[in-house]
Structure 1
Amino acid sequence: MKKLRKRFKRPKRPYDTEQLKEGKELKKSYGLRRKKEIWIAEEMVRGFRQRARKLISVSDKEKEEILLKKLAKLGLLPKGSSLDDVLGLTVSNLLERRLETIVFKAGMAKTTKQARQSIVHGFVRVKGRKTVFPSYIVTVEEESAIKSSFKQPKPPTRRGVAAAPEQADEGGEE
């Protein structure tokens, strides 16, 4: 059985004002609900960069190709990039590849919060499969296969008020 580990690390200085401002901006621009989502993204980027640093020191071509293919498949780097480009990855690059952000930028939702809600409620499908995780990292090939069955609901009408003017028009024409 696979050993369960934490997917993130908390910041060493939790009340650092610069870090708090940066986290607040990221939460607002990408529609995140918790700082934990930022920490998870930071940990993923940290892992990619750490693997790249190890590969630069060892110079293993096979593992280098595997890492670069994976990052190209995820859409974090263009094809033909080098390990130096991996070291330039940021948290924003990874947050751009989240399903929530892609649904919003594709125009399937008016706001990031609406995008998140439509995903959680099961209105968004990736390659025909219902995906209910806003944090799902979308690959380049899956990006074109995102479909939304979410339709803007019509505002509710009251029975007596909305129907009365139409009946009055019909009665006057006869």
Structure 2
Amino acid sequence: MGDPRRMRKKYESPKKPWERTLLETELRLLGEYGLKNKRELRSLEATLRSMRKVARSIFALPEEERIKKTAELSAKLKRMGLIGEGATIDQVLELSTKNLLERRLQTVVYRRGLANSIYQARQFITHGHVMVDERVIKKPGKLLRAHEENLVKINPKSSLADPGHPLWSSR
């Protein structure tokens, strides 16, 4: 059977957790993007930190290897929808947590008008009312790729798919 994998934190706590400006910005992001707790925010910050770390390490490489690694990193971030065509390493280093928060399924559902609030979008996702490319996804924190953003829709088997549902009649 094998040993179960070791569970590790996917985030890192701040060095000064009670700093006023940090608390205010975190609270604002939690409310704006409908996050359940700060762990979700810190997990995205850790993801962004690792992307920046890779981008900074590219500067130390020899020229031919730098070109190859830059192309790989920019292709990955372009697939994720974080950068556009022909982006430079400097643009990768300028990415913020908000860029990643905008890629979450919960945010995309709300921005596309499938829910009245960001919290309702989270509820629709966890209850299985939302599909991405013919697959029901129940994780509001899923980072959507660029091509998946247009494939987000209401599950046809859901009660929300009925045109007479109160959600649609109120609009």
Sort the TM-score into its range (normalised by shorter chain).
Answer: 0.7 to 0.9
Cα drift, residue 63 of structure 1 = 1.7
1:93 to 73, 94, 99: 99
Which residue of 2 is the match for residue 39 of structure 1?
A: 42
Which residue of 2 is the match for residue 15 of structure 1?
A: 18
Unpaired segments ≥5 residues, structure 1: 156-174
TM-score, structure 2 normalization: 0.85
Cα drift, residue 5 of structure 1 = 3.2
Detail structure 1 runs of 4+ shifted over 3 Å in the superposition: 1-5, 151-155
Report the 3-state secondary structure (helix = DSSP H, G, I; strand = E; otherwise coil) of the residue aligned with 1:141.
coil
Which residue of 2 is the match for residue 121 of structure 1?
A: 127
Task: For 1:36 and 1:97, locate their aligned partners in 2 and report how far apart those are by CA, in whole Å.
Answer: 17
**1:145-164 correspondence runs (5 A):** 145-149=151-155, 150-151=160-161, 153-154=165-166
Q: Percent identity?
A: 34
Which residue of 1 is the match for residue 53 of structure 2?
A: 50
Point out the structure with max Rg over C-alpha: 1
Which residue of 2 is the match for residue 162 of structure 1?
A: none
Which residue of 2 is the match for residue 5 of structure 1?
A: 8
Task: For 2:20 and 2:12, locate their aligned partners in 1 and report how far apart those are by CA, in whole Å.
Answer: 18
Report the 3-state secondary structure (helix = DSSP H, G, I; strand = E; otherwise coil) of the residue aligned with 2:60.
helix
Task: For 1:73 and 1:4, locate their aligned partners in 2 and report how far apart those are by CA, in whole Å.
Answer: 28
Across the aligned residues of Structure 1 and Structure 2, the Cα RMSD in angstroms comes to 1.8
TM-score, structure 1 normalization: 0.84
Task: For 2:87 and 2:7, locate their aligned partners in 1 and report how far apart those are by CA, in whole Å.
Answer: 33
Task: For 2:108 and 2:152, locate their aligned partners in 1 and report how far apart those are by CA, in whole Å.
Answer: 9
Q: Does 1:72 align with 2:78?
A: yes
Task: For 1:62 and 1:2, locate their aligned partners in 2 and report how far apart those are by CA, in whole Å.
Answer: 33
Which residue of 2 is the match for residue 160 of structure 1?
A: none
